[in-house]
Amino acid sequence: MRFGGHVSIAGGLERAIERAQEITADCIQIFVAAPQRWLPANHSEEAVARFLEARDASGVTPVLLHGPYLINLGSTDELLRQRSIDAMVSQLEWADRLGAMGVVFHVGSTASGGRDAGMDLAADGLRQILDRARGQAPLLLETTAGGGNSIGGHFEDLGELIDRLDRTPRLQVCLDTCHIFAAGYPCRTITDLDQTLADFDRVIGMDRLTALHLNDSRDPFGSHRDRHANIGEGAIGLDGFRSIVNHRQLCRLPGFLEVPGFDGNGPDAENLRRLRALVE
Over residues 246-276, the pLDDT tens digits come to 999 999 999 999 999 999 999 999 999 999 9
- Is the link from the previous residue into 138 a cis peptide, with omega within 30 of 0? no
Q: Superfamily for 3-277?
A: Divalent-metal-dependent TIM barrel enzymes (3.20.20.150)
pLDDT (0 to 100) of residue 162: 98
pLDDT (0 to 100) of residue 208: 98
pLDDT (0 to 100) of residue 111: 78
Q: What's the burial of 94, exposed, middle or buried (CB within 10 Å: 0-12/13-18/19+)?
A: buried
pLDDT (0 to 100) of residue 43: 97
- Report how far residue 120's alpha carbon sits from residue 105's, in angstroms, rounded to the nearest whole number: 18
How many CA atoms lie within 13 Å of 38's alpha carbon, on the beta-carbon side? 10
Amino acid at 210: T
C-alpha pair distances (Å), 243 with each of 78, 166, 237, 249, 253? 43, 33, 10, 11, 14
pLDDT (0 to 100) of residue 170: 98
Considering the chain, what is the average pLDDT of its residues?
97
For residue 141, the cross-strand partners are 105, 173
Three-state SS annotation for 138-161: CEEEECCCCHHHECCCCHHHHHHH
Residue 104's φ and ψ, nearest 5 degrees, are: -95, 140
- The pTM assigned to this predicted structure is 0.97
3-class secondary structure, 213:
strand
3-class secondary structure, 263:
coil
C-alpha pair distances (Å), 181 with each of 168, 228, 266? 28, 11, 21
Output Rg (C-alpha) for the chain, integer angstroms.
18
Does residue 169 carry a pLDDT above 80?
yes
pLDDT (0 to 100) of residue 144: 98
- Report how far residue 190's alpha carbon sits from residue 221's, in angstroms, rounded to the nearest whole number: 16
Note the pLDDT tens digit of each residue in 47-103.
999 999 999 999 999 999 999 999 999 999 999 999 999 999 999 999 999 999 999
- Report how far residue 173's alpha carbon sits from residue 178's, in angstroms, rounded to the nearest whole number: 15
Answer whether 87's CB lies under 8 Å from 94's CB: no
How would residue 129 be classed by pLDDT, with cut points 50, 70 and 90? very high
